[in-house]
Amino acid sequence: MNKLDNLEFIKKLDCSNMLKFISDLPEQCRDAYAIGKSININKPAVNNIVFAGVGGSGIGPDMVRVYLGDELKIPVSICRNYTLPDFVGERTILFCSSYSGNTEETLSCFKQGLKRNAFIITMGSGGRLKELSSKNSSTHISIPPGYPPRTAIGYMSITVLGVLVKLGLIKDKENDVKELFSILTDVRDKEIGFSVSMEKNISKQIAVKLYKKYPIIYGTADTTEAVSNRWREQIAENGKALSSSNTLPEMNHNEIVGWRFPENLLKDFKAIILYDKDDHERTKERVRITSEIIKKSGVEVMVLKKDNGGRLARIYSLLYIGDFVSFYLAILNNIDPTPVETIDYLKKELGKI
């Protein structure tokens, strides 16, 4: 039996049960929407929305930004830094997202938002952010505790949809979220979950192909940009492996030329392209041609698209495939996927300054 189908082998490595955290995404998304819609909040005068968050607390809002690209009628941006953009002011809705509640970049943005009289909404499981939010009478959304931050992607994204509906900025998404739950459950149980054997499991098959290789993941600006970044982040945090991500059509104007050198390293590369039927027709053609160009370099290209359901379900299905790929890659690397010791060390060193 191969190790990805061997539950006893996986249990010995997966000491903190990352498999369960990843497997619970459908239920998390279902519950998250209800949390978002349950808050008591009135719509402010608003010109723009800024999401302040990093890591697992930043990628969730970015998924929302890309998903709602055709629906939101005001500018939306993501701030992954200590400093807010200068345009943030009293007509800005500032979402400060930190699952732990103690992320220093997000706390910095919260304090700046207060000084600029932004309309602040905080989101997390507790910590200093919740304390500051309560002290300053900002709206706080409590997320269930106990998750490694990167596994709370459903809470840190779908909750936001509920809030935006409550604010009257987007149409109701209840049917979309119900469909999301149903389709993600099917994808997990029939395509990518542990109980699906290697011969039928696309995530296990991709993980085997990526083992001891350098993946480069491409998304599309219209639909899968954030998904490709999520793949990169999960491969790093769970699989403890490096990868890169970029976006079409942008990479067609620079990076595509680089698929020639260094020749001796190209044999260790794998390319993955994630796209969707809602992409611009010219972008779809670019996906096809880009795949052909990379293949000429002798590099295998995996092109992934999901067809079931609406846009929300399709892009989260691609995200879900990547989450399981990163878990299986950790198992192939013989390492516990949960600990992020390098991040812990970095925070410890910063704490000394």
213 catalytic? Reply is no
Angle, helices 311-332/202-210, rounded to nearest 10 degrees = 50
Which residues touch 232 (CB under 8 Å, ≥6 apart)?
A: 217, 243, 244, 245
Nearest to 95 by CA among 145, 143, 138: 138
Out of 115, 253, 348, 352, pick the active-site residue.
Answer: 253
Q: Are 181 and 52 in contact (CB under 8 A)?
A: no
8 CB neighbour count, 10 Å cutoff = 8
Which residues touch 98 (CB under 8 Å, ≥6 apart)?
A: 53, 57, 106, 107, 122, 123, 124, 127, 129
347 catalytic? Reply is yes
Q: How far apart are the first and last CA of the chain?
A: 50
**300-304 and 269-274 as β-strands: parallel, antiparallel, unpaired?**
parallel
Q: Are 104 and 82 in contact (CB under 8 A)?
A: yes
Classify 150 in phi/psi space as left (phi over 0), alpha (psi -120 to 50) or beta.
alpha
140 catalytic? Reply is no
Phi first, then psi: what are they for 17, rounded to 5°?
A: 60, 50
Q: Are 170 and 76 in contact (CB under 8 A)?
A: no
Residue 247 to residues 77, 271, 292, 335, Cα–Cα distance (Å): 17, 13, 17, 30
* H/E run at residue 39: none
* H/E run at residue 40: none
Out of 204, 237, 270, 306, pick the active-site residue.
Answer: 237
Burial zone of 267 (CB within 10 Å; 0-12 exposed, 13-18 middle, 19+ buried): exposed
* H/E run at residue 142: strand 139-142
Active site (catalytic) residues: 237, 253, 347
